[in-house]
Amino acid sequence: MEQGAIRPSRTRAPAATKTLSHNLNGQRLGRKGRDTRDRILAATNELLAGPPDVEISLSAVARQTSLGMTSLYNYFNDLTELLLAVLEPVMATAEDEYVGLLRTRWDDADLGERTLAFVTAYHGFWVKHSRLLHLRNRMADAQNERMMMHRVRAAQPVMRLMVEQMDGELAQPQSPVFSMATALMTGLERIVTVTTDVALQTTLHAPNPLGRTHLLRAEARLLELGIRDYRTLAASAD
């Protein structure tokens, strides 16, 4: 491909958020039912935005909304289902927040600037939604299958777009370029996890903005080097 050309992405943007029409008992959701469900989601977001020592649980959400547990179970079977509903509109913003930055081929001349802008945007997304995303990842690490799948699906579009930036072939998922994209994405997620972990910063008694900046720049540099390396390999193979 000619250097600097815009490469149309083969990676699709996430689908639009679905509108629920029934509760878990199969009853059609009228205006009151939709309002109740919205109250539950709003209460969950309020708890997530509150003190970090307040546990996020179905009972806490029920208290926040002044609902009985029976009423809450009409809408959500468990905490995972509730958090996935909260995550849905959050992840719908990912395209505009950071994914879209990868869709245009980055020129070699300003590759360092583009990788830093992307890493900074991804970190900014995590700053906005850190408690929810940390909770998702902790549940995934505890072998919660639905959260594991959500985490993987959230990362896949980024990894595939990284492969395209490296001039790799999406039809070859077992290729070294896919492994590089996986390694880069794993490092990126770990960096933003560490730099947005309030509990870790509290434990260390020393939040370090300068150290955070250095970590983000280091990750951006690794992404730049990975892209340059695999572009060179792809060009030599032509």
d(CA 119, CA 219): 7
- Topology at the third CATH level for domain 89-237: Tetracycline Repressor; domain 2 (1.10.357)
Which pLDDT does position 16 carry in this prediction?
41
Positive or negative, the CA dihedral 54, 59, 65, 66 is negative
Which pLDDT does position 29 carry in this prediction?
60
Q: Could you give the residue range(s) of every CATH 1.10.10 domain in the chain?
A: 31-77
pLDDT digits (tens, 9 = 90+) for 59-72: 999 999 999 999 99
CA distance to 43, 104, 116, per residue, from 210 (Å): 35, 30, 15
Does pLDDT of 116 surpass 80?
yes
d(CA 124, CA 131): 13
Q: Tell me the average pLDDT across 26-44.
A: 83
Q: Could you give the residue range(s) of every CATH 1.10.357 domain in the chain?
A: 89-237
Q: Tell me the average pLDDT across 157-182.
A: 96
Give the CATH number of domain 31-77.
1.10.10
Which pLDDT does position 58 carry in this prediction?
97
Q: How confident is the model at residue 88 (pLDDT cuts 50, 70, 90)?
A: very high
DSSP letter string over the chain? Answer: --TTPPPPP-SPPPPPPPPP-B-TTS-B--HHHHHHHHHHHHHHHHHHHS-TTS---HHHHHHHHT--HHHHHTT-SSHHHHHHHHHHHHHTTHHHHTGGGGSSPPPGGGHHHHHHHHHHHHHHHHHHTHHHHHHHHHHHHTT-HHHHHHHHHHHHHHHHHHHHHTT--TT-TTSHHHHHHHHHHHHHHHHHHHHT-HHHHHHHT---HHHHHHHHHHHHHHHHHHHHHHHHHHHHH-
pLDDT digits (tens, 9 = 90+) for 175-228: 999 999 999 999 999 999 989 987 777 676 656 665 789 999 999 999 999 999
